[in-house]
């Protein structure tokens, strides 16, 4: 057994707290090659130092001011703008395509509206002409004489 294996074995024996005389005899036999380890075993076999670690380093009460920044960072909510900014690069290509599509749509729509406007002007013009004709007919009726177109 090398040093490390012996140290591992001693740790396991000390942790378990119960080992047979035979186990210890075997260990001591192995430790004969390493007097410093044998000395360390003698020191430790009486048991670990009785320390109340809770007394040495007691748990301090947690202050809200310490937890608040962490809670804030951990908060499952986030600002919409921040969220959108995070999402934008991910969906940049889709957004660009959407913009192209929308631009195309509006171009086509504006062409249609022009023809619509022309149609309306035409209607207005026609309506005006018709009105003019009606007015002329009215004026003719009001005249004290009539035109004889057959002459």
Partner 1 sequence: MKIVQGQPTEEQLLSELETLYPRIERSIRAYTNGTGLDPRDLTQDTFLKAVKSLDQYNQGAALYTWIYRIARNTCIDAMRKLKTRRQYDAPEVDADSQSSTDSGSSVDYRSDYEQREEQNMVRRVMAFMPNDYRELIILKDFEGMHYNEIAVITSLQEGTVKSRLFRARVMLKEGLLKAGYVHES
Using CB under 8 A as the criterion, which residues of the chain lie in contact with partner 1 when the complex forms?
3-5, 7-8, 10-12, 14, 40, 43-44, 46-51, 53, 55-62, 66-67, 69-71, 73-74, 76-80, 83
Q: At closest approach, how far in Å is the CB of 39 from partner 1? A: 9
**Minimum CB distance to partner 1 smaller for 70 or for 93:** 70
**Minimum CB distance to partner 1 smaller for 82 or for 109:** 82
**Minimum CB distance to partner 1 smaller for 53 or for 149:** 53
Q: At closest approach, how far in Å is the CB of 92 from partner 1? A: 20
**Minimum CB distance to partner 1 smaller for 66 or for 148:** 66
Q: At closest approach, how far in Å is the CB of 49 from partner 1? A: 5
Q: At closest approach, how far in Å is the CB of 96 from partner 1? A: 24
Is 74 buried (19+), middle (13-18) or exposed (0-12) by CB count in 10 A? Answer: exposed
Of 23, 21, 14, the C-alpha closest to 45 is 14
Sign of the torsion angle spanned by Cα atoms 42, 44, 45, 51: positive
Which of helix, strand or coil describes residue 146? coil
Q: In whole angstroms, what is the distance from residue 107 CA to residue 104 CA?
A: 5
Residue 112 phi/psi, 5° resolution? -65, -40
Six token digits for residue 12:
């396991």
């Amino acid at each position: 057994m090398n040093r490390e294996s012996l140290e591992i074995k001693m740790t396991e024996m000390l942790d378990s707290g119960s080992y047979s005389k035979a186990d210890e005899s075997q260990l001591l036999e192995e430790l004969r090659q390493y007097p410093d380890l044998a000395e360390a075993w003698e020191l430790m076999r009486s048991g670990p130092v009785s320390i109340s670690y809770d007394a040495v380093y007691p748990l301090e009460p947690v202050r809200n001011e310490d937890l608040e920044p962490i809670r804030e960072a951990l908060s499952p909510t986030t600002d919409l703008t921040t969220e959108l900014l995070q999402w934008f690069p991910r969906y940049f290509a889709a957004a660009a395509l959407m913009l192209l599509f929308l631009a195309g749509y509006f171009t086509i729509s504006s062409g249609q509206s022009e023809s619509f406007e022309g149609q309306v002007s035409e209607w207005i013009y026609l309506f005006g002409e018709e009105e003019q004709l009606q007015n002329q007919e009215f004026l003719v009726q009001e005249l004290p004489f009539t035109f004889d177109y057959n002459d």
